[in-house]
Structure 1
Amino acid sequence: MFAVGFGANHFIPLLQVYREGMASSEASLTAMVGVYAAGLIPALLYFGRLSDQIGRKSVLMPGLWVALVGTLILALGAFSQEWPLYLGRIIIGVSVGMGMACGAAWIKQLSTDDPVAGPRRATVAVSAGFGLGPLISGVIAEFAPAPDFLPYVIHAAVTLCALWWLRAAPETQEGRGVGKRKIVPPVVFTAAYLLAIVAWAPWTFGAPTTAFVTNPSQIGIDSAFPTLVQGLLAFLTMFSSLFIQPVVAKLLANGPRWLALAALGLTTTAAGLGVAVAAALTGSVWLMLITAPVLGTAYGIFMVAGLAETERFADDGELGALVGIFYSLTYLGFFVPFLISMLVTGAENVFGMDPTQAYVGVLAVGVVVCLASIWPVSKAAGYGGRS
């Protein structure tokens, strides 16, 4: 799971490299971030269910080999071509989809010592990869030679290490032939699932990508080391989620029933977007750095909340499929930077706003949406359809 997260996010600080080296437009750069969801979401839906049938290890290990192919194609971007970046990101998306759905289910099944710890352990592992990947790539791209090539070599090495390590990992789903099942279990179409998970899931990655993709793109990075700063923003965002894990785990196990973790995540997201408004109005890099851990904390809360809700909804043999669906919904948030860039451009053209006014307006809408969602989400969360 660490290697999967590393591969998904280490690309982020390289946006600054491509912005300067290839003069790529902001729309192109944000599209590169989001396009990997085109490979990721179908992979999550298919391979989560498949891992319920043939085993977790039989899906995760091939997924890591797919990641190696993706990172090699991304490395071709060093020849100043954009097409390998789009293609490589899609392939990386497939690998992440293969790893995330079965990996979270695998960790849950391995957590026999503490069943409640499964969602937290899965989130910690992948979040560490999400955070350290861009930090390491940012440092390399800022100070080492071949900034558009060497980070991919590092990712390939991490992936090969994970493949070697997984050889001895025990299979938890072997011999559980569950037969043919629908890719989307019927419970997904219930009103309870809609409010308990669907209504907020895209914020899981929509919040952090606002911190480390949209803010640098819309506000700019006033620093002598912009690539390092972008990597640091991604690191602070994703790594900060690790520190909320013990608190969220305690709330999940012993917290009051009326406290919905997803509602807490929405509240935290609204606060983070408020800090982003201040950063946009002042152009302050320091406020951008403050925004990052706030929105990263929201990500950590959402991820644990969603995996816990998914376990409650899951019937026998459906856990991998439902985890895949939850992750698919969360990864819609990777389209948020591209959506925001389009909305900002639209506000400029339609209402005659300057870029800062337009961006602040879009962020303000996000705050309102989060706050308006708290009550209905609170009513639905924590009951898990079948519990």
Structure 2
Amino acid sequence: MHRFVPRRELSRPAAFWTVAVLLTLMLAASGVPSPLYRVYAEEFGFGSGLITVVFGVYAFALLLSLLVVGALSDHVGRRPVLAVALLLEAVSMVLFLTADGVEWLLLARIVQGLATGALTGAFGAALLDLQRPDRPLGALVNSASPAVGLSVGAVSAGLAVEFLPAPTSWVFGVLTVLCVAAAAGVWVFLPESSPRLPGAARSLRPSVQVPASQRRAFVVVLPCLVATWALGGLYASLGPSLVAGVFDVQDHVVGSLVILALNGTGLVGSLSMRTVAPARSMVVGALVFAVGVAGTVTALTTGSLTLFFVAAVVSGFGFGTAFLGAMATVTQGVAPGQRAALLSAVFTASYLAFSVPAIAAGVAAGHVGLERTAQVYGVAVIVLALLAVGGLALHARRPATPVGEPAHRAPAAALD
């Protein structure tokens, strides 16, 4: 006779860090294809325009997923959404593994985008659910994990291309196993933290849901999100191609290190500024970011690869600092039943900025050249960053809506 054996749930601290690691793994998987675009382009015979299309279909699939199922875990639970999405991520890895043409590559990226969109909102909400009340780190992990994940994924793929005989088989084979194991682990060991509100079917209607209490903060942080993620999209889609095409460096590891230079220092920025008030963090981050992008434009003009890497480091620090301030500001005080919806809205805006400008850059590169396109792109991003600083300055002069204590000060205490 079989006896019922209860699930052995992780403690809340262990569950928090497990979710943080799994979120980073998922984002690493999404960053793996970037250094491989050149490999696929050489194998299947396509140029920068199609590279950004492959990049773009991923982002648009991710956005669709965020809009449709981004808030679902607030209603049916974090565990089922995460487990199913991780299995879908494993399916995308298998598609990458077996891709023998552009069509299969596009399909793999679409499936990965759908999985990543579902995972982003649910993982981010779980971090806010499981964080310690006396030392909340959910906003920090949510802002730092893209930098860590994309850096690890890009560099790992670049090393695999240079040193392994069958890099795509190794990379996507390992990720398939990890995704399946993660899905099983989430289902068996992760405690359920969602309030499970009614209205699951209604939540599937495509929409961007920003709770009324967070709308002002969302508008304030939006320019920072657009400016920083637009540059991230350029580096993720065309960074290795810039290294090869503009600076004539064909080494795949060097191409992937550009992505590390931007995203890795984003983590440093997030960690070093985590005790600073969010509004100040956004202003400092946006200004440092603008200086770094100006260095990128100069490097492209002068042909200096060293300056290009230094500028990526400076831009990345600004990116991480500004994004941490934005996340801490917009998530402060959000109700448990609205967390997944809010984070889905934040990442919808971020991934729109991540994808649409990069796709336009890929198309433009086919007409005016990669170097000129990247220069104009950089100038546009600088203007956006400075507009973000101006918008924050205007916001600081307006009295905040009282909710306990001023919204721009509360997150600073929370991140001490």
Q: Report the counterpart of residue 274 of structure 2 in structure 1.
A: 249
The answer to whether structure 1 residue 11 and structure 2 residue 33 are counterparts is yes
How far does residue 184 in structure 1 lie from its aligned partner after superposition?
A: 3.4
Spell out the pairing of 1:102-181 with structure 2 (5 A cutoff): 102-166=122-186, 167-173=188-194, 176-179=196-199
**Does the alignment pair 1:275 with 2:295?**
yes
Q: What is the Cα deviation at residue 277 of structure 1?
A: 0.9
Shift of 1:21: 2.2
CA contact (8 A) 2:48 2:366 kept: no
Q: CA deviation at 1:189?
A: 11
Match of 2:244 in 1: 220
Normalised by the length of structure 2, the TM-score is: 0.80
Is the alpha carbon distance of 1:121 and 1:194 closer, same or farther for their aligned partners in structure 2, counting shifts above 3 Å?
A: closer
Q: Summarize the Cα distance change of 1:194–1:250 in structure 2 as closer, same or farther, 3 Å threshold.
A: closer
Change (3 A) 1:147 1:296: same
* Count of residues in correspondence between the two structures: 373
Equivalent AA in structure 2 for residue 238 of structure 1:
N
| Residues 312 and 383, structure 1, Cα contact 8 Å, conserved in 2 | no
Cα deviation 1:226-245 (Å, max 9, x = unaligned): 21112222223222222222
The Cα offsets for residues 74-101 of structure 1, whole Å up to 9 and x where unpaired, read as 2233x2x101111111111111111111
1:379 aligns with 2:394: yes
- What percentage of aligned pairs have identical amino acids? 20
Aligned to 2:4: none
Residue 325 of structure 2: aligned partner: 305
Three-state SS of the structure 2 residue aligned to 1:250 is coil
Aligned to 1:338: 359
- Alignment partners' CA distance in 1, 2:288 and 2:126: 29
Amino acid at match of 1:239: G
Which residue in 2 is equivalent to 1:61?
Answer: 83
Contact 1:16 1:230 in 2 (8 A): no
How much has 1:212 moved relative to structure 2?
A: 4.4
Q: Does 1:207 align with 2:231?
A: yes
> Please, which of 259, 264, 267 is the counterpart of residue 234 of structure 1?
259
Conservation of the 8 A alpha-carbon contact between 2:147 and 2:264: yes
- Counterpart secondary structure, 2:193: coil
Residues 151, 259 of structure 2: 8 Å contact kept: yes
**Aligned equivalent of 1:40, options 58, 62, 69:** 62
Contact in 1 for aligned 2:74/2:337 (Cα 8 Å) = yes
Instruction: Using the TM superposition, name which of 153-162 and 274-283 deviates more.
Output: 153-162
**1:45 offset after TM fit, Å?**
2.6
Following the alignment from structure 1 to structure 2, what is the Cα–Cα distance between the partners of residues 103 and 384? Answer: 29
Kindly indicate whether the alpha-carbon contact (under 8 Å) linking 1:244 and 1:297 is maintained by their aligned counterparts in 2. Answer: yes
Q: 2:385 aligns with which of 370, 378, 384?
A: 370
The answer (yes or no) to whether the contact 2:77–2:194 under 8 Å persists in 1 is yes
Q: Is 1:96 aligned to residue 116 of structure 2? A: yes
Question: Structure 1's 370 and 185: CA in aligned 2 closer, same or farther, altered over 3 A?
Answer: same
Instruction: Calculate the aligned-residue CA RMSD, in Å.
Output: 2.8
Cα distance in structure 2, aligned partners of 1:101 and 1:110: 14
Tell me the equivalent position of 1:351. none
Contact persistence 2:70–2:118 (CA under 8 A): yes
Mean Cα displacement is larger for which, 260-269 or 317-326? 260-269
> Cα offset for 1:63?
0.9
- CA spacing shift, 1:375–1:32, aligned 2, 3 Å: same
Residues of 1 paired with 2:127 and 2:49: CA distance? Answer: 37
**3-state SS, counterpart of residue 171 of structure 1:** coil
CA distance in 1, matches of 2:41, 2:304: 20
Once residues 231 and 375 of structure 2 are traced to their aligned partners in structure 1, the CA distance between those partners, rounded to angstroms, is 15
Give the whole-Å Cα distance in 2 for the aligned partners of 1:16 and 1:136. Answer: 15
> Mind listing any 5+ residue stretches in structure 1 that lack a counterpart?
349-353
Of 222, 244, 247, which aligns to 1:198?
222
